[in-house]
Structure 1
Amino acid sequence: MSLKASNAWTLLAVLVVINFPIYAGDAHPNFSEDDSSLVYMSDGEIKIVNITTGKVTNLTNSPTADMCPDWSNDGATIVFDSKREDINRDLYIMAIDGINVQRLTNEPNQQDKCPAFSPDDFRITYICTANGDMDIFVMNSDGSGVKNLTDDPGSDRCPSWTPNGKKITFMSNRTGFFEVYIMDSNDGSNLKQLTELKIKGSNCWVAAVSPDGKQVCFVGDFEGNNDLYVMDIDGKNVRKLTKHKANNQWPAWSHNGKWIAFASTRSGKERLYVIRPKGTELRQITGLENN
């Protein structure tokens, strides 16, 4: 089977999962600007949890799934994707209390998902299927100025900005395996493959850059389940962060660089956790009695 044919089946499978009405469990966390809370998707809604108290606030109430939120760096808005208005996933932006929801994308026959704010909040990068597979796009935060950064028969996934906003990392299986790549954020030039790890899993989504721009946290399935790994930004010094037979995925760095939030099924259902970048002080955040 050719790479393009293989990725067509991968894309179909992913779209079935992503367009399912409800995502069971808690996933896709991102920190608030002061690192006190996490925004995340949970059972089809966008929610916020206070890391210290465990208090959960539901921001949305849509009949279809709202997914993949990211918190703006100024703390004022949240961007996410949803199928609330038609059969396609589109990007939306709202205030942090869930009001003033605005639609950013509205193109027929394509899916727009997994948005992420640039460090200055002026731009948003995201996954788009306009080319028939998953590619990385970027646009202004008001939905204007859309640019296609990648156009490859592989599956390009969940981009992450470097702290200066000049580069974007992402995961792609364009070689037949998932690897971490980096490119210029303006036009997709200076593309560089950072790893040669031969990650096989279809659920390897995020390659998140640390706030100091020196490290990348990503998902790998080298031992039969998804685990988090951390490496230098040049692809060197890869080390395993999580060591559990459950699936561990959706990593996100705190703004101060002291924590990594992620989702794990180790409790039986996907819940949110935080851990130090060196693998210590693991804490469960959601799915507790005080939630």
Structure 2
Amino acid sequence: MVCRSGSVATALLASRKRPDAVEQEKDKKEEKKDEKKDEKKGLPLKSDRKVEFTTDEGTWLSLDVSPDGKTIVFELVGDIFTLPIEGGQAKLISGGMAFDSQPKFSPDGQWITFISDREGSENIWIMHPDGTGVKQVSKDPNSEFTSPNWAPDGKYVFVSKAQFGIGSSEIWMYHVDGGSGVQITKSKPTPTTERSKRPNAMGVVASPDGKYLYYAAKLGSLYYNQQLPTWHIARRDRKTGDEDNLIHQIKSAFRPVLSPDGKQILYVTRYETATIRNRSLPATFFRATPSCPGGKKLFTTRMERSSGWILPLERKKQFRSRPRYHRNWGRSWISRKRWNKGR
């Protein structure tokens, strides 16, 4: 009896907590809640103000044309719009605080691939032309993606990927259902590799039959407005992995685009100030400058206004598109800094 009573008394005393101890536990719980709230804080999640404006110019616009030749998709200050080929009212299909860029129609016109940092780092995404069905394709927080483009079968997306800290872009391929991707060019430089020996491959486009990849290639790290060493147009056999240097041009040749029949290649060069050139390819031989399905018209932007221009190959007439925009704005700054934990 004594033993049992002592046990009960001890248990009762142990179960009683001093008021100050209870308060301390409450404070700890509140601190944990505050920490969780702080973890979610970062860039503004809502726009601060709305701005409506009409413009006929932009900066470094990327555009593409739908396979049926009726619609242009383009980016403007981090948002993606569609526009009738004849011009008119631009329709926002992807906007908000994320920076979306480099849209590209799939071969069947049912999807658009683009680059977005909406999850904290730039990755490949896809969506329908009306902005629905948004889906993340790649999930790499340690790389920078540029120039996405479709495989002819519409099941894969080719892209240039540069790992942070290395300064070298390689060609990768991702299935639209996701995954870790497959590396196409495999030079695999490291941070200790000399800058002059770090290879780069950008602006990839596949031949209509899917047998070859065309892209701009060069040795050496990337610098804006760099004259030498020059970019050249390379062709890669997807089956054997063999790479041929097709076009060498003074002041570089880059951003190759193939005609729909695969017999002509269009590329950009800084030779003679700024030039778009096309060249016939032997045998089986347009992204930054896409073409209509018939291959008779080109679509591009001009530096004088960075607005949309349609350039028939026979150079008889040019058409200009002047869209109108409506945009929500957030903070008045843009940072290329990568934040930890997606912030």
**Quick check: TM above 0.5?**
yes
Structure 1 residue runs without a partner (length 5+): 1-22, 236-248
- Counterpart of 2:279 (choices 209, 224, 231) is 231
TM-score by length of 2: 0.66
Q: Which has the higher contact order (CA 8 A, sep 6+)?
A: 2
Q: What letter is aligned with 1:271?
A: S
Contact 1:258 / 1:277 at 8 angstroms: preserved in 2?
yes
* 2:317 paired residue number: 281
Q: Kindly provide the CA deviation profile for residues 125-178 of structure 1, in whole angstroms up to 9, marking residues without a partner as x.
A: 111113641111112222236221124423211101111111111011238211
Is this contact kept in 1: 2:203–2:256, CA < 8 A? yes
Structure 1 counterpart of 2:156, from 114, 119, 123: 123
Say which is worse superposed, 279-288 or 91-100, in terms of deviation: 279-288
Bigger Rg over Cα: 2
Alignment correspondent of 1:190:
242
Note the 1:1-291 alignment, pairs <5 A. 24-25=58-59, 27-86=61-120, 88-130=121-163, 132-144=167-179, 146-152=181-187, 153-174=198-219, 176-185=229-238, 189-200=241-252, 205-224=254-273, 226-234=274-282, 250-266=288-304, 269-287=305-323
- AA matched with 2:175: N
Bigger share in helix: 2
Q: Is the 8 A contact 2:78 2:100 kept in 1?
A: yes
- Greater CA drift, 169-178 or 226-235: 226-235
Over 3 Å counting, the alpha-carbon distance change for 1:145 and 1:167 in structure 2 is farther
* Aligned-pair Cα RMSD in Å: 2.5
Aligned letter for 2:295?
Answer: G
C-alpha separation between the residues in 2 aligned to 1:210 and 1:58? 29
Cα separation, 2, equivalents of 1:222 and 1:284: 25
* 1:275–1:113 distance in 2 versus 1, CA, 3 Å: same
Counterpart contact for 2:87–2:323, Cα < 8 Å: no
Q: Match of 1:274, as an amino acid?
A: I
Change over 3 Å in CA distance of 1:172–1:278 after alignment to 2: farther
Q: Displaced runs of 4+ in structure 1, greater than 6 A? A: none
Structure 1 residue 82 displacement after superposition: 1.1
TM-score with structure 1 length normalisation?
A: 0.77
